[in-house]
Structure 1
Amino acid sequence: MFEYIFKLILLIKSKLCAFYYPIKIGNKSRLFGSISVDKRASVVIGENSRLYGLKVTGKGTITIGNNVEMRDLYVHIGEGATIVVKDDVFIGKDCKFLIYKKLIISDRVLISPEVMIIDNNHVINKKVIKTSGLVCSEITVGEDSWIGAKSILGYGSSTENNVMLGAMSFLNSYAIRDSMYLGVPAKRKKGLNYE
């Protein structure tokens, strides 16, 4: 009986969030914990996904696929920017995404806790950096990739499929498939061969 009541409460909470915030929620997807989405943003969640805390500020569009699990994610998304999280993705606790152009997280990606993904950088050609503007680049995390805890994917970075980025690394370049990258800045350490 208690389990039935608990499931009913979760269903009601998810539906209320979808009513109050600009969120569309797919079948069997659930929202837990603190949920806050800027009225100027748009969030679409696929089927059977679990979001344990989400805060979205800004004006862009976020599309989350099926069977996705996220824990306490903070997103700031610029006007006209898009974030696409494909199917079977796990995003660990306390990650932060600052996106002004486009972020694509491909199928079966594992993102460990406290990872930051930032697709922009300040223009450094004026004395006043605060008002100099931003340069932005699209970031893609390829299929079956694993981003280690407290790593940063910065402006100009992307990964092909099956890339491992070691914990506390800073990637600011293009990572080729089937490879492990480590360090600050991240460098290719070895190829990955699972045969």
Structure 2
Amino acid sequence: MNIRKIIFMAAVNNIPTTNSSRGFVNKIKYHILKGIFKSMGKNVNIRPGIKFAKGYNISIGDNSGIGDSSFLQDIGEIIIGNDVLMAPEIMIFTSNHEMKRNELIRNQGIKVKNVRIGDDVWIGTRAIILPGVNIKNGAVIAAGAVVTKDVEEYSIVGGVPARKIGMRE
């Protein structure tokens, strides 16, 4: 495990922060994560309690944030655009077990698919984004939604599984 990840998870991750990327603790988090994540934009706000699998498969754009207690399973790449708001307890997955009928699931491999989140996206509390999903610019994901397929630009999706319930005006 990367020493920066150990420092982040053990010492810095659970310190309370403000909702601003400019606070002292957020600046410390930013500099530690900049050495872990694949890329990190300016003014990124990382709230307390986040977890990630590797870190080096995460890219996050300018003015974006990851909400409290979120989990990013970055076995594959997670690409987060600019100006993305993520509420608390978001879960993003990039892999899943294979499910062939004639073989025990525990003996099967996993399929890895990247997740992409466009610019100006808002993701509500406890939303789950599954492997291979592409959320396009301007979309809104309702709280508690389970996103199993791509989301159109400026659409609003919600439910389990998530369906289009409106458009941003």
Q: Tell whether the structures are fold-level matches, with TM greater than 0.5.
A: yes
Tell me the equivalent position of 2:16. Answer: none
Is the aligned partner of 1:141 residue 2:123? Answer: no
Is the aligned partner of 1:105 residue 2:80? Answer: yes
Distance 1:89 1:157, change over 3 A: same
Distance 1:52 1:133, change over 3 A: farther
Is the aligned partner of 1:21 residue 2:3? Answer: yes
Distance 1:145 1:106, change over 3 A: same
In structure 1, runs of 5+ residues without a counterpart are 1-19, 24-30, 37-46, 55-59
What is the distance in 1 between the residues matched to 2:154 and 2:94? Answer: 23
Tell me the equivalent position of 1:190. Answer: 166
In structure 2, runs of 5+ residues without a counterpart are 14-20, 31-35
TM-score scaled to structure 2, two decimals?
0.78
Tell me the equivalent position of 1:41. Answer: none
Is the aligned partner of 1:127 residue 2:109? Answer: no
Which protein has the larger Cα radius of gyration, Structure 1 or Structure 2? Answer: 1
Amino acid at match of 1:130: R
| Higher strand proportion | 1
Is the aligned partner of 1:87 residue 2:62? Answer: yes
Instruction: Decide whether the 8 Å contact of 1:33 with 1:52 is kept in 2.
Output: no
Amino acid at match of 2:53: H
Query: SS of the residue aligned with 2:11?
Result: strand
Instruction: Decide whether the 8 Å contact of 1:159 with 1:174 is kept in 2.
Output: yes
1:128 Cα deviation (Å)?
A: 2.2
Is the aligned partner of 1:156 residue 2:132? Answer: yes
Q: Give the root-mean-square deviation of aligned CA atoms.
A: 2.9
Q: Deviations over 1:108-154 (max 9, x none)?
A: 00000000000111011153212311101111111000000001000
1:84 Cα deviation (Å)?
A: 0.2
Distance 1:128 1:32, change over 3 A: closer
Aligned residues: 150
Tell me the equivalent position of 1:69. Answer: 45
Q: Which has the higher contact order (CA 8 A, sep 6+)?
A: 2
What is the distance in 2 between the residues matched to 1:147 and 1:107? Answer: 13
Instruction: Decide whether the 8 Å contact of 1:48 with 1:68 is kept in 2.
Output: no
Distance 1:157 1:32, change over 3 A: closer
Query: SS of the residue aligned with 2:106?
Result: helix
What is the distance in 2 between the residues matched to 1:65 and 1:53? Answer: 13
Instruction: Decide whether the 8 Å contact of 1:51 with 1:70 is kept in 2.
Output: no
